[in-house]
A and B are shown apart, each in its own frame.
Chain A
């Protein structure tokens, strides 16, 4: 990667000012994707000194700082088990030690496991300058949010949850992932299709209105979502995976 300078921001204000100054000034989260993308930037802005690497219990929700590493996320007892499990399945520990939760969420990568599992929860994103939006809104909105992601709020809910990542080998991006949560209500999410994760609204609605036929719920999910081809696999097989794992997820969380 090429960069003209590296700056450890002393405040969010300073970081934000630099980002606004030029599109060639970039926030570094972990730095993994800047590397993979072989970025060419002016100033790399590091947020390490801003206290964004904490995971805190805030009564109604758990607040995860954007600079929390995937490794810290998976180890924290404050974080719901299914999210920890989904995180653990990403690459190896030496990768997850670098990758940040904020980087994973902000980037809206199609292959993200973290977005899929978070979308099945009630999650809010906190940005600087002051703004709070739900993860669902953020993912649906095209482009990136104008601001610095600082925190991720995972709202607490007594629930049963399921996450499945389908991969070619264990050191691989998913060719499909599925997250289903049954708390006060159902939430069905399918990601890596290869498009970024989406909440299956028809399927979720059917279930929340008392629908009991899980195979049907899986079919609804597959009908309403777009599936595509990638070099790893084609859409027909992705659909078969989604049909199978959404149904199994529902069976699992309803036990």
Chain B
């Protein structure tokens, strides 16, 4: 376990913090070409309808209109917008534009015009004749409903995922280890309960944005706020019938993604408009479109049965899940499976575990990837029912977790059975400081003094709740990252990576890894990401993969560069490579030496000139989970049930924190996003299926005033397979708040809220029922 780091695990400023604070115009729309056509999308007013005919003749004549796309003039090739690796575990159930529209806001046509006003005016002239169909708006009634949301031909899965569109099933999955029914029967205590989570919105502040242009080679260049530029290139090419070499995708600076920018939003339209008109085109989603026409977290119903002995040993867990993927099946199976695969292994002492259910289509906004990716939904249900079990056992809920949860060098059979849409990978926990996290968090919260509830004033009580969580670090055998390092004269390194910084700070983290491995300083590392022409392949920013997968690639590349440099220096020093020592600045062999500055400059201008550059990749075989213990304290009004967060303590094991400040940022940002889902982010549809909570005035993300004291610590941990001992930290922060709040509400009032978000109004209603 290497520990005396110079750059990694040290307080290192972000490579881009200053420039961004100073307002550099580096985001996608800042880089849109002057005079780009403005693309606006005509959207369905109906939750479910068939377009009988669409007449654009008037609209096309409107002065300033360059191009109108409809189902009648775009390629009819099914694809998935999910933005995953190939072959995707999501069904190919989407067409660029289709005969059917499947939610209020679904795409009917795209209008490209000289400016927005013109595009909107022309859009009003498009005449669409709809056959309105009966929508499915309740996901519990979707299965085998007489309304079939995907009746069309030409849709399919890429490998078996349980896709049965005629039954409104996008995916299905079942697994069992041991015999759950038998173990439940044998258990002395069995608890069961059902929980519902909502379609949380990503609500990143930068809207989905893209633009397209043709370059001097007449290649299509697409700028996009994407988390997955390489997947985007592949999918654009495949769907529009272009060779891969004719398209370049550039991901500039991205203003937050959280999974929401893994998918496609407008890229097909700007590409087609540019290809057809030979003009640049751009599309910027309005805030209403970001909420109502991109995608959301999968809402779910999770039913659990947990059996234990009186001594607190959990014997069996049965988890039945129903997930609502909305109109299209992006990430339907994989998010669903994570409910089980990244939550249930926490309790690895069980003799039997069962997980399964269906992912159904409805006529709601489509669901897709969102930070936490099933784990937050699962965590809400599992970590709530663990508290119910503790109560049934008359046991301290922390003790119950300590007895049953994962420890270092242990494993879970689930790892092998369940992966992301496929079979999983066996893993022993080389690093798992969960017991420490629990113990330390309990101290930091002063749990023993606060649990379960204390009166603190007239109408004021304070209660606490806890939860534990795990996630993964990339997708083993699927995710690949790579890194090219080029030596500049003067001894600095140009690092290019396909890894996509979407605000999480991966450019900084990767630079640190390179600087540490090459024993140099951050000012000698220049990083550029991500551009399919210029940077090597990376699967993209998802599945908590960047620090671990792309970081390992950067580490490999840096080690390779070091090896190369020593060989080059050996030639100069007329020594054997093994005899050359390199401290990051100077190569020494015996009494001879040459500086990196001289070597690098010489290689470009003087002797034996050639470019020194290396490219390395990384492909994971395991996905070491980070772990977390979380403890929340809340103050409640006993008459109105309004509450506020007083304190939220987390202790995280993410291995080495490559950048401790950014790691803290990931955890705390995750917590507050999760807290929004837990507390205030209600998703409201009207009876016709129109999303009403589609602005920041109607969908309430936490503001600075909702945040209590955040106490964020990290366990001393080292993951041997990670770069300098690191695991992921991007997602795990989001997982715990729903269960922590739910448990704290129970500890305060003795009512359990089964539907997220847990609003004061729901506590009020539950209390009325209780009385």
Chain A residues with a Cβ under 8 A of chain B: 2, 166, 168-173, 231-234, 236-237, 240-241, 244-245
Instruction: State whether B703 touches A234 (Cβ < 8 A).
Output: no
Which candidate, B413-421, B498-506, B691-699, is the interface stretch facing chain A? B691-699
Instruction: State whether A168 touches B640 (Cβ < 8 A).
Output: no
Residue on B with the closest CB to A243? B639
Within 8 Å by CB of A170, from B693, B703, B759, lies B703
List of A residues within 8 angstroms of B705 by Cβ = 169-171
**Distance from A107 Cβ to chain B, minimum over Cβ atoms (Å):** 15
**Distance from B644 Cβ to chain A, minimum over Cβ atoms (Å):** 10
Beyond A169-B701, A169-B706, 11 additional pairs, beta carbon < 8 A:
A166-B642, A169-B680, A171-B703, A231-B693, A236-B764, A236-B765, A237-B760, A237-B764, A240-B639, A240-B764, A241-B640
List of B residues within 8 angstroms of A241 by Cβ = 640
List 5 A-B pairs, Cβ < 8 Å.
A171-B703, A172-B697, A233-B761, A237-B761, A244-B637
List of B residues within 8 angstroms of A170 by Cβ = 703-706
Report if B125 contacts A (CB, 8 A): no
List of A residues within 8 angstroms of B692 by Cβ = 231
**Distance from B770 Cβ to chain A, minimum over Cβ atoms (Å):** 15
Complexed CA–CA distance, A172 and B705 (Å): 11
Within 8 Å by CB of B639, from A233, A234, A244, lies A244
Instruction: State whether A169 touches B684 (Cβ < 8 A).
Output: no
**Distance from B285 Cβ to chain A, minimum over Cβ atoms (Å):** 17
Instruction: State whether B703 touches A166 (Cβ < 8 A).
Output: no
Report if B700 contacts A (CB, 8 A): yes
**Distance from A37 Cβ to chain B, minimum over Cβ atoms (Å):** 13
**Distance from B389 Cβ to chain A, minimum over Cβ atoms (Å):** 31
**Distance from B771 Cβ to chain A, minimum over Cβ atoms (Å):** 13
Chain B, residues 517-547, CB within 8 Å of chain A (1/0): the string is: 0000000000000000000000000000000
List of B residues within 8 angstroms of A166 by Cβ = 640, 642
Instruction: State whether A240 touches B640 (Cβ < 8 A).
Output: yes
Complexed CA–CA distance, A236 and B761 (Å): 9
Tell which of A166, A169, A170, A241 has the most Cβ of chain B within 10 Å.
Answer: A169
Residue on A with the closest CB to B642? A166
Chain B, residues 729-771, CB within 8 Å of chain A (1/0): the string is: 0000000000000000000000000000001110011000000
**Distance from B581 Cβ to chain A, minimum over Cβ atoms (Å):** 58
Residue on B with the closest CB to A251? B458
Q: Which 8 A-B pairs have the closest CB atoms?
A: A170-B705, A237-B761, A244-B639, A171-B703, A169-B700, A168-B700, A170-B703, A231-B684
List of B residues within 8 angstroms of A237 by Cβ = 760-761, 764-765
List of B residues within 8 angstroms of A234 by Cβ = 761
Complexed CA–CA distance, A180 and B703 (Å): 28
Instruction: State whether A2 touches B680 (Cβ < 8 A).
Output: no
**Distance from B673 Cβ to chain A, minimum over Cβ atoms (Å):** 13
**Distance from A165 Cβ to chain B, minimum over Cβ atoms (Å):** 11
Instruction: State whether A2 touches B117 (Cβ < 8 A).
Output: yes
Within 8 Å by CB of B698, from A231, A236, A244, A245, lies A231
**Distance from B395 Cβ to chain A, minimum over Cβ atoms (Å):** 35
List of A residues within 8 angstroms of B700 by Cβ = 168-169, 171-172
Within 8 Å by CB of B696, from A171, A240, A245, lies A171
Report if B702 contacts A (CB, 8 A): yes
**Distance from B683 Cβ to chain A, minimum over Cβ atoms (Å):** 10
**Distance from B265 Cβ to chain A, minimum over Cβ atoms (Å):** 22
List of A residues within 8 angstroms of B680 by Cβ = 168-169
Measured as residues with beta carbon below 8 angstroms from the partner, the interface class of chain B is: 20 to 34
**Distance from B74 Cβ to chain A, minimum over Cβ atoms (Å):** 29
List of A residues within 8 angstroms of B693 by Cβ = 231
Complexed CA–CA distance, A230 and B698 (Å): 11
Complexed CA–CA distance, A241 and B642 (Å): 10
**Distance from B765 Cβ to chain A, minimum over Cβ atoms (Å):** 8
List of B residues within 8 angstroms of A233 by Cβ = 759, 761
Complexed CA–CA distance, A233 and B684 (Å): 11
Within 8 Å by CB of B640, from A169, A232, A244, lies A244
Instruction: State whether B697 touches A173 (Cβ < 8 A).
Output: yes
List of A residues within 8 angstroms of B640 by Cβ = 166, 240-241, 244-245
List of B residues within 8 angstroms of A232 by Cβ = 698
Residue on B with the closest CB to A92? B703
**Distance from A28 Cβ to chain B, minimum over Cβ atoms (Å):** 20
List of A residues within 8 angstroms of B701 by Cβ = 169
List of A residues within 8 angstroms of B117 by Cβ = 2
**Distance from B147 Cβ to chain A, minimum over Cβ atoms (Å):** 26
CB contacts under 8 Å to A, within B629-651, are 637, 639-640, 642
**Distance from A64 Cβ to chain B, minimum over Cβ atoms (Å):** 26
Tell which of B640, B642, B693, B698 has the most Cβ of chain A within 10 Å.
Answer: B640
List of A residues within 8 angstroms of B639 by Cβ = 240, 244
Complexed CA–CA distance, A172 and B698 (Å): 8
**Distance from B200 Cβ to chain A, minimum over Cβ atoms (Å):** 15
List of A residues within 8 angstroms of B764 by Cβ = 236-237, 240
Complexed CA–CA distance, A173 and B695 (Å): 13
**Distance from B146 Cβ to chain A, minimum over Cβ atoms (Å):** 30
**Distance from A181 Cβ to chain B, minimum over Cβ atoms (Å):** 22
Instruction: State whether A169 touches B702 (Cβ < 8 A).
Output: yes
Residue on A with the closest CB to B676? A169
List of B residues within 8 angstroms of A236 by Cβ = 764-765
Residue on A with the closest CB to B684? A231
**Distance from B646 Cβ to chain A, minimum over Cβ atoms (Å):** 16
Residue on A with the closest CB to B695? A36
Tell which of B680, B684, B703 has the most Cβ of chain A within 10 Å.
Answer: B703
Complexed CA–CA distance, A170 and B117 (Å): 34
Residue on B with the closest CB to A169? B700
List of A residues within 8 angstroms of B637 by Cβ = 244
**Distance from A87 Cβ to chain B, minimum over Cβ atoms (Å):** 16
Chain B, residues 662-702, CB within 8 Å of chain A (1/0): the string is: 00000000000000000010001000000011001110111
Residue on A with the closest CB to B701? A169
List of B residues within 8 angstroms of A245 by Cβ = 640
Complexed CA–CA distance, A233 and B764 (Å): 12
**Distance from A153 Cβ to chain B, minimum over Cβ atoms (Å):** 31
Complexed CA–CA distance, A244 and B639 (Å): 7
Complexed CA–CA distance, A128 and B640 (Å): 44
Complexed CA–CA distance, A170 and B696 (Å): 12
Instruction: State whether A168 touches B759 (Cβ < 8 A).
Output: yes
Complexed CA–CA distance, A182 and B684 (Å): 39
Residue on B with the closest CB to A173? B697
List of A residues within 8 angstroms of B761 by Cβ = 233-234, 237
Complexed CA–CA distance, A233 and B761 (Å): 7
Residue on B with the closest CB to A233? B761
Residue on B with the closest CB to A247? B639
List of B residues within 8 angstroms of A173 by Cβ = 697
List of A residues within 8 angstroms of B759 by Cβ = 168, 233
Complexed CA–CA distance, A172 and B681 (Å): 12
Complexed CA–CA distance, A240 and B765 (Å): 11
Complexed CA–CA distance, A171 and B696 (Å): 9
**Distance from A155 Cβ to chain B, minimum over Cβ atoms (Å):** 32
**Distance from A118 Cβ to chain B, minimum over Cβ atoms (Å):** 23
List of A residues within 8 angstroms of B702 by Cβ = 169
Complexed CA–CA distance, A232 and B759 (Å): 10
Residue on A with the closest CB to B686? A231
Complexed CA–CA distance, A150 and B700 (Å): 35
Complexed CA–CA distance, A241 and B459 (Å): 13
CB contacts under 8 Å to A, within B703-732, are 703-706
Complexed CA–CA distance, A245 and B639 (Å): 10
**Distance from A166 Cβ to chain B, minimum over Cβ atoms (Å):** 7
